[in-house]
Structure 1
């Protein structure tokens, strides 16, 4: 499999799974165990709105290389036949771009880069501070 030859939608498909796994591991590490809590809290990370916000924060900080921006655009520009009911087309496209980038990092073995990005966005949700309060 050549990640640079995959479509934006395929990269996003993989990225969705990779990001979800990072989130699930994190929530379990924090001590959450009830499925209801895990599902409710995971939305803070995996919803289209959250992923679009993560991308926009990182992009504004200049966190991405030109190659990463190109991968993002491949995912963002994919024309999906549908949009989830809880978001709009623009947010959905940005989140798809972010998922494509996540999938690309995973498939190209850039786990350190994926972790670096994860560590930058994870604290913005504020779950750790909610636990210690």
Structure 2
């Protein structure tokens, strides 16, 4: 990023309501369908061709998308101390669990989604798995790349659908 800060943009801070283009990104139910699009519009960013993102850039944003979903689930289950919430989160946010989830949802993926997953899984990363197998780490990176791709494509609904299905199966396995 150049010398611009996160708040340097074309947004009008005195706008009383949401801008029209932001409203278009809201579902009828009021849920945000395209959070990445809302962020781009708010900060005056141009949409980048999805094919130009490296798989590790997709995994970078996808890691956060996956984590915010899991953190939201854990937090909404009950109001607990942060340390307890973190322990509950780790059950789902680790390479072994993410590898299980991607293995469980592979038959639910479209050809395009599967290709994105494989690009992420096969990407050469310069970080190593910490206390996890290399295979699980690569599968987790592939899942994160898929989450990032779908998020940036305005398909947060699809990310939620896949993660919900995978988490359900993981919970059944760990009972």
Q: TM-score w.r.t. structure 1 length?
A: 0.87
Alignment size in residue pairs: 126
Matched, 1:16 2:66: no
The alpha carbon displacement at 1:88 in A equals 1.7
Partner of 2:22 in structure 1? none
Asked whether the 8 Å contact 2:101–2:170 carries over to 1, the reply is no
* 1:97-116 map, 5 Å: 97-116=142-161
**Residue of structure 2 in register with 1:2 after alignment:** 49
Query: Matches of 2:127 and 2:164 in 1, distance apart?
Result: 31
Distance apart, 1:125 and its partner CA: 3.8
Contact 1:15 1:100 in 2 (8 A): yes
- For structure 1, list consecutive stretches of 5 or more residues without a partner in the other structure: none
Unmatched runs of 5 consecutive residues or more in structure 2: 1-47
Please give the root-mean-square deviation of Cα atoms over the aligned residues, in Å. Answer: 1.6
What's the offset of the Cα at 1:108? 0.2
Q: Which fold has the larger relative contact order, with Cα–Cα distance below 8 Å and residues 6 or more apart in sequence?
A: 1
Q: CA deviation at 1:4?
A: 2.4
| Structure holding more helix per residue | 1
TM-score calculated relative to the size of structure 2: 0.67
Q: Which has the larger radius of gyration?
A: 2
Instruction: Tell me the distance in 2 between the aligned counterparts of 1:112 and 1:18.
Output: 12
